[in-house]
Amino acid sequence: MIRRLRHAVAFAAFAVAFTALASPAHAAASAAKSAPLKPWTVDDILALRTVREPQLSPDGTRVAYVVTSFCSDSTRYQSDLWLGTLATGEQRRLTSTDAEESAPRWSADGRTLAFLSDREAPGSSAKGMQVWTLPLDGGEAAPFTRAPSGVTRFEWFANGSGIAYLAPEGPTAAGLARAARKDDSRVMSERPGYARVWALDRAGGKATAITPAETFVSSFTLAPDGRRVVYCVQPEPGFNGRYDSDLFSIPVTGGKPVALVQRPGMDLTPKYSRDGRWIAFLSHDGQPGGSANKVSLCVVNAAGGGAVNITPKFDERIGGPGVMTEPVWMPDNESVLFGSPDRTNIRIFRAFTDDRPVEPVTRDAGCSDWPSMDAAGKVLAWTHEDGTHPGDVWVWEFERSAPRTFTDLNPWTRERHEFAPQVVTWPGAGGQQVEGLLYAPLQSRPGVRAPLLLDVHGGPAANHAQYFSAIQEGFGLPLLLQKGWAVLMPNPRGSAGYGSEWRLANTRDWWDKPYVDLMSGVDAMIRLGFADSTKLAVCGWSYGGYMTTNIVTRTTRFRAAVAGAGPVNLAAQAGTSDIPGLMRSSMAAWPWEDPQVYVENSPIFRAGAVRTPTAFIHGEQDVRVNPAESLNMYRALRTRGIPTDLMMLPRAGHGPDEPAHLRATMEWTIEWLTRWTLGNAPAAPARRAVSGGFR
């Protein structure tokens, strides 16, 4: 099928074939439309509704899903549950509060929907997310759990008698003693963050602990017969602990845990097959290391035995940034669905417990995620978006129809300009081919070169994929394209989606060959007549922020740069990040083992070479990359008299998530890039270099 283009978005020199998922509703609306298309605004981007977690009812006739939108006062985002009927297309909102609601899960009889919510329960002092239940034949949602520190995940017992849930434990005894003295200090060796699996009967009563106390449990799965729980144990809480995790099995009634999978590396997110014979899980397949390791899909017999890798020849990581990380069993009990990056796409794949090769389930350009199946295996639901269509729930009733869009959450976007990415390639370092996405400006004309923004993705083991253009990155892509910019989004070595060799090709080399890959892409766009070599800018977030800073320490060809939450001193990053293992695996050494490789890869030590006006953005509560990283480089440039600025986002973690912060990030980034690249705003006054003291 050919993608429908609403205006010329391709440079004349490129002939590109597009394929896309087609929606009858979208096509009809497009054909009926005659009014001129409107430009995108910041308000438009902030108003986009997003969807996740579609969950089919056991009989496959209905689908529940989560929609995120503005809360009533537009100061933050919140999520509500929706329910759709496949036969009629009817969709209705199940919850309508300013609370956060997620994780819809059907009871086996299809009459009740349980979900997580942080709404306040009458008469309860419990904090955080709790499990609530909603009868679908009428009635109000009611609180089910009252866990003192909240609930992170849950599963129904198959007979509908109750749930098992995972809940963080409260402070340690020593911590409680200090609190009684009004002492809020924290001691790292006390290792807060324990979590346990509990069982709670639907008829009421007290919750019963299943897993042992003082254990870092991160995920679990409940056997279909309700007799056992398989759970993941980490040596420490948080993201970093997953890289050395193991699986244990224990009776629901309690008892001694039995090691099911205990070996080096990661083994997590277990999921029972529907017949209870197998457990599928994500794994490093016994290899120690960290986040750079290949992630495979393994299975182990519920009765014990060795783990088996069922994706040994699938040369790409499973899950990862922006991809659901839990396996989904098919009703045949012989195959498992999972998500994985595939070049500039995110696809759903199917792996088999026998020797059959992995096969793609979704094949179209764009990003598919969150697969869900009914009990009989006759209906599949998932989310999908591409460069010109926002995310929606899709359904495929195998015996009745082809795949189709079920929701239409943002119909008004068909009245806005559409920007379709082009997949482009060029030779990078050593002549190896590099792939990326090119977005052309709204009013592109043959022979007219455009200012070019180089956008570097994070990760580094992530990829620029064909997400809906209006939410690509956080700097307001359509706003720039409407202003005449072209945007290049490369997938240099180190990116996911191109196999293990490419993903690991930046080991001990974050700074050089990936830099060559990126610069070669810019050169290719100039050589082909797309980009104006005198109007270049660069930006990125996380690893993209790191690379942005690295680039301006190595070349003066860019007139402006904006770096978001990027590390500049990798030795400090190894000690302050919530995933220190990333630096250990990326550099193949700790800083004290090989300090030179850290110095070589750290832009802060080349700050004296920067001439490019560079701005920085960072969340004050970022635990992934400490805010001191941006502050460090900002002060270095300011001391040298280089035009620079720093925006700090209160309450924000590793990226903005409040509407006001998203607006500020977009507007501030575009103003900085425009001022210094196009000269459309007054230049910052010259200032002398600063010496001494903190400014």
Task: Determine the Cα–Cα distance for residues 301 and 311; give it in Å rounded to an integer.
Answer: 16
pLDDT the model gives residue 445: 82
In this prediction, residue 527 carries a pLDDT of 97
CB 382 within 8 Å of CB 404: no
In a domain, 622, yes or no: yes
* Residue 43 placed within a domain: no
3-state secondary structure at position 647: strand
Run of H or E including 99:
none
In this predicted structure, what is the pLDDT of residue 680? Answer: 58
Which amino acid is it at 572?
Answer: A
- Cβ burial 600-634 (10 Å sphere, 16+ → b, else e): bbbbbebbeebebbbbbbbbeebebbbbbbbbbbb
Mean pLDDT of all residues belonging to the chain:
89
Comparing CA positions, the residue from 329, 335, 375, 376 lying closest to residue 158 is 375
Q: What's the rounded Cα separation, in Å, for the pair 558 and 569?
A: 22
Domain membership of residue 85 (yes or no) is yes
Left (φ > 0), alpha (ψ -120 to 50) or beta: where does 648 sit?
beta
pLDDT number for residue 68: 95
CB atoms within 10 A of CB 377: 15
Within 10 angstroms of residue 494's Cβ, the number of other Cβ atoms is: 27
Q: What is the pLDDT of residue 3?
A: 27
Residue 233 lies in a domain: yes
What is the DSSP-derived secondary structure letter of residue 202? Answer: T
Residues 389 and 443 in one domain: no
- SS3 readout for 480-545: HHHCCCEEEEEECCCCCCCCHHHHCCCCCCCCCHHHHHHHHHHHHHHHCCCEEEEEEEEEEECHHH
Kindly state whether residue 311 falls inside one of the protein's structural domains: yes
Is the same domain home to 168 and 270? yes
Question: How big is the CA angle at 147 (ends 157 and 101), to the nearest 5 degrees?
Answer: 75
Q: Is pLDDT of 38 > 70?
A: yes
CA distance 518 to 586: 19
Which residues, 6+ apart, have CB-to-CB distance to 691 below 8 Å?
639
The better pLDDT of the pair 39, 179 is held by: 39
Any idea what the CATH number is for the domain that residue 462 is in?
3.40.50.1820
372 in the same domain as 230: yes
Same domain, 158 and 136: yes
Nearest to 511 by CA among 597, 589, 615: 597
Whole-number Å distance between alpha carbons of 231 and 221: 6
pLDDT of residue 71: 73
The CA–CA distances, whole Å, from 45 to 42, 86, 618, 652 equal: 5, 29, 21, 19
pLDDT of amino acid 519: 98
Query: What is residue 72's predicted lDDT score, i.e. its pLDDT?
Result: 62
- 59-93 per-position pLDDT tens digit: 999 999 999 997 766 688 889 999 999 999 999 99
Q: Please check the confidence at residue 301 and state whether its pLDDT lies above 80.
A: yes
Three-state helix/strand/coil letters over 253-265: CCCCCEEEECCCC
Cα 440 to Cα 33: distance, rounded to the nearest angstrom: 23
Cα-trace Rg, the chain: 26
pLDDT band per the 50, 70, 90 thresholds, residue 661: very high
Residue 694 domain-assigned (yes or no): no
pLDDT of residue 27: 44
Q: Name the more confident of 21 and 248.
A: 248
Q: Are residues 526 and 432 part of one domain? A: yes
What tens digit of pLDDT does each residue of 182-221 get?
Answer: 888 888 777 667 999 999 998 877 899 999 998 999 999 9
Residue 686 lies in a domain: no
With 50 as the cut, is the pLDDT of residue 300 above it?
A: yes
Cβ atoms of 489 and 538 closer than 8 Å? no
CA distance 334 to 339: 17
Among 89-93, 123-127, 485-489, which is the least confidently predicted range? Answer: 123-127
Q: Which residues is 563 bridged to in the sheet?
A: 540, 616
Do 381 and 436 sit in the same domain of this protein? Answer: no
Burial class (CB in 10 A: 0-12, 13-18, 19+), 93: exposed
Spatial contact of 379 and 60, defined as CB atoms under 8 Å apart: yes
pLDDT digits (tens, 9 = 90+) for 566-615: 999 999 999 999 998 899 999 999 999 999 999 999 999 999 999 999 99
Q: Is residue 688's pLDDT more than 80?
A: no
Per-residue pLDDT at 576: 96
The CB density around residue 582, as the number of other CB atoms within 10 Å, is 25
Domain check: are 250 and 317 in the same one?
yes
- 429 with 401, same domain? no
Q: Which of 282-291, 348-357, 394-403 has the lowest mean pLDDT?
A: 282-291
- In a shared domain, residues 492 and 533: yes
For the record, the structure tokens of 370 come out as 């969150």
- Least confident residue range of 440-449, 551-560, 640-649: 440-449
Count: domains in the chain: 2
In a domain, 672, yes or no: yes
Q: Choose the final residue of a domain: 413, 442, 472.
A: 413
Q: What is d(CA 394, CA 139) in angstroms, rounded to the nearest whole number?
A: 28
Which pair of structure tokens corresponds to residue 669? 């980034």
Tell me, yes or no, whether 149 and 54 share the same domain.
yes
Question: Which residue has better confidence, 305 or 174?
Answer: 305
CA–chain centroid gap for 414, Å, is: 26
Residue tagged 């729980």 (tokens): 229
Q: In Å, what is the CA distance from 639 to each residue of 131, 604, 611, 629, 634?
A: 52, 13, 13, 16, 9
pLDDT of 695 higher than 80: no
The per-residue pLDDT for range 96-114, each reduced to its tens digit, is 888 899 999 999 999 999 9
Can you give the pLDDT at residue 191?
A: 66
Residue in 473, 531, 534, 476 with CA at minimum distance from that of residue 14:
531
- As given in the structure block, the two tokens for residue 171 are 């402070």
Q: Are residues 510 and 604 in the same domain?
A: yes
Spatial separation of the C-alpha atoms in residues 201 and 435, rounded to whole Å: 53
Q: How many residues does the chain have?
A: 695
d(CA 435, CA 493): 10
CATH number of the domain residue 197 falls in: 2.120.10.30
Give the residue numbers spanning the domain of 495.
420-678
Same domain, 383 and 482: no
